Amino acid sequence: MQMHNQAPPTSGPPGLFWANKWLTKVEDLFALAAALCIFFLMFLGIGQVLGRQLFNTPFMGYIDLVELSMATFAFLAVSYCQRLGGHVRMDLFVRMVNGRARWILEFVTTIAPLILVGLLIYFSWGHFMRAYESGDSTIDLQYPVWPSKILVPIAFVVLFLRLLIETIGYWRLVLNPDSEPFAVPLILTEEDLAKKEIEDSKGSTDRG
C-alpha cells in the first residue's frame, strides 16, 4: 500500500518539530551515502567485467568490497524509507477504523517494531564488538569487517529514533484526534493517489 507523509513540514509541536527536522537531515545524509555506495559499486562492477574480458585481470578484492558495502545500501536508508512510508505494511484493519480508534491502532502497531528495533540494536552491536575484538576480516584481501558491521547498529539507532518520533506523533493524535497529524505516515486513498499523480504530472509539465 502506497503511503506518504502528508503532514505539513512547518506544523507540529516545537519539540517534535525540532526532533523531526534534525533526524530528517541525518536520514537524508544516510540515504545519500547509500545511493553513492550503489553508484560506486556500479562502476566497480563495470571495471571488473571490462578488466576480466579485455585484459584478463579482474579487480583484486572485488568480492570483498561488495561484501563490505552491503550494509551501507541495505541498512543506511531504512529510516529514510520509514519516514516516507515506503515500507510494505498491512493496513486492512487500519482502514476500517477512523478517529481515535485509528490512532490507537497505529500507536500500538508502532510500539511493536520500536521494541524489535531496540533488540536488533543490542544484538547487532554485539556482532560488531565480536568482529572488532577478534579481528574478523574478509577472505580474499583480509579487509577488516568491523567498519561494515558498525553501520548496522548505527542505522538501527536512527530507525529507532524515527519510530520513537512516530510513536509520540501517534500518541499526540490519540490524546487529541482533531490535531493536525505531524511526523507520521498517513495512508493515501485511491482518490488521494490520483490527485497526487495529477499534481506531479502538472509540475513536470510546468518545469518542461
**Tens-digit pLDDT profile for residues 51-108:** 888 888 777 888 899 889 999 988 999 999 888 877 666 666 676 778 898 899 889 9
5 within a domain of the structure (yes/no) = no
203 within a domain of the structure (yes/no) = no
What's the domain count of the chain? 1
57 within a domain of the structure (yes/no) = yes
- The pLDDT > 70 percentage for the chain reads 80
161 within a domain of the structure (yes/no) = yes
pLDDT value, residue 122? 97
3 within a domain of the structure (yes/no) = no
9 within a domain of the structure (yes/no) = no
Residue among 174, 181, 162, 175 at smallest CA distance from 20: 162
User: Are the C-beta atoms of residues 68 and 143 closer than 8 Å to each other?
Assistant: yes
pTM of the entire predicted model: 0.83
What's the CA gap between 106 and 171, in Å, rounded? 9
19 within a domain of the structure (yes/no) = yes
CB-based contacts of 76, cutoff 8 Å, min separation 6? 30, 31, 33, 34, 37, 151, 155
Residue among 74, 170, 73, 176 at smallest CA distance from 114: 170
pLDDT tens per residue across span 100-150: 988 998 899 899 999 999 999 999 999 999 999 999 998 888 899 999 999
> What's the whole-number average pLDDT of the chain?
85
208 within a domain of the structure (yes/no) = no
Average pLDDT over residues 151-158: 97
What's the CA gap between 114 and 160, in Å, rounded? 6
What's the CA gap between 145 and 64, in Å, rounded? 9
**Distances in whole angstroms, Cα of residue 120 to Cα of each of 21, 111, 117, 157, 160:** 25, 14, 5, 9, 10
Domain span at residue 39 reads 14-196
